[in-house]
Amino acid sequence: MKSFLKVSLSAVLTGGLLATGFQAQAGNPERAGQAGATQLLINPYARSAGWAAANGAFSRGLESQYTNVAGIAYTKRTEVMFMRSAWLVGTGININAFGVSQRVGETGAIGLGITSINAGKIERTTEDQPEGGLGTFTPRFTNIALSYAKCFSDNIYGGITVRAISEGIDNVKAQGVSIDAGVQYHTGKQEQMHLGVALKNIGPKMQYKGDGLSTQGTVTNAYGNEYQLTLNNRSGAFELPALLNISLGYDLYFLKDTAGKADKTHRVTVAGNYTSNSFTKDNYMFGLEYGWRNIVMVRGGLTVEKGIFKGEGNRTTAFTGPSCGATVEIPFTEKKSTVAVDYSYRFTNPFGGVHTFGLRVNL
């Protein structure tokens, strides 16, 4: 397993870096709309969303399945979490995320994460009845991710994720699979310098299939007789929204203890992340977090892409850039088990932003 993980990480990350070298600096906005399964680009976790997912270089626990899977290797024993997001308030869309990560051996950890998006009820219409009156349908999107991460040395962590993807309605569905891989490197006297690289959403094309693509048609033969036939339409295959993240982070400790070492009671962390997207504009994320004894943490972030601050005529996303969040994490046993409440808010225009609430328990 160890050699397989090393080979997989090396191959996937090297390929991603080489591919990125051939991309334009401004991303690929001309390919916008050509990819599917774009729910893979949604961050369902409150802690990382609070500072714009800029913490890919030092993310920890199951939440790392979104930012950089290598961070799952930091699971001490068992972590359980549940997240709920009110997505673009006013649309009626809710996102639920549940997962558990477990320490395996001395240096490894596995994680299982499930993300489900409920898009609410939509009026069912047809060509003959465009005004509706036929009931409703509910689009559903579900991702199930299984991860393994390992500490290769005191400074290097790596991990890989296999994700099953399912989306559709009651009579039309598309299913697929994707792979993520990530590496984190930490250095410095206090391990205060962080570097992370993660390649995400690599997999084969997906295609919609189902009875919903069939229609009833009338065929007339050479003798003038008409027959009712079922015509099956094929949907076009679509690619996954592959991307590459390169992250940096640095911890600042302004006070020293009586021995002259850094006092970690108060911590300020600055973070940055560059995302090279295959089908949309590239993103730059910046984050700042203050932590007191790792019990109270307050954070803020900013996501930047071309045209995001130039008004609605140039902005191609509902998000306007800023985000913020906070965490309260309280120890409750001698083994330093903790229970934490996370919250984040992402600003949007239009709609009323994105609220994400989370509960996590480290046993």
Q: What is the pLDDT of residues 228-246, one digit of tens each?
A: 888 788 888 999 999 999 9
Looking at per-residue pLDDT, the higher value among 260 and 138 belongs to: 138
- Asked if residue 361 lies in contact with residue 343, where contact means CB atoms within 8 angstroms, the answer is no
* Domain extents in the chain: 2-362
Decide if pLDDT at 119 tops 90.
no
DSSP reduced 3-state for 175: strand
- Asked if residue 314 lies in contact with residue 305, where contact means CB atoms within 8 angstroms, the answer is no
Q: What is the mean pLDDT of residues 90-117?
A: 95
Decide if pLDDT at 118 tops 80.
yes
Decide if pLDDT at 186 tops 90.
yes
Decide if pLDDT at 117 tops 60.
yes
Q: How confident is the model over 268-284, as pLDDT tens digits?
A: 999 999 999 988 899 99
Q: What is the mean pLDDT of residues 171-196?
A: 94
Could you tell me which CATH number the domain at 2-362 has? 2.40.160.40
DSSP reduced 3-state for 129: coil
Decide if pLDDT at 287 tops 90.
yes
Q: What is the mean pLDDT of residues 86-105?
A: 95
Q: How confident is the model over 291-312, as pLDDT tens digits?
A: 999 999 999 999 999 989 987 7
Q: What angle do CA 279, 281, 285 make, to 5 degrees?
A: 125
Which residue in 342, 328, 332 sits closest to 363, CA to CA? 332
- State the pTM of this model: 0.88
pLDDT of residue 127: 80
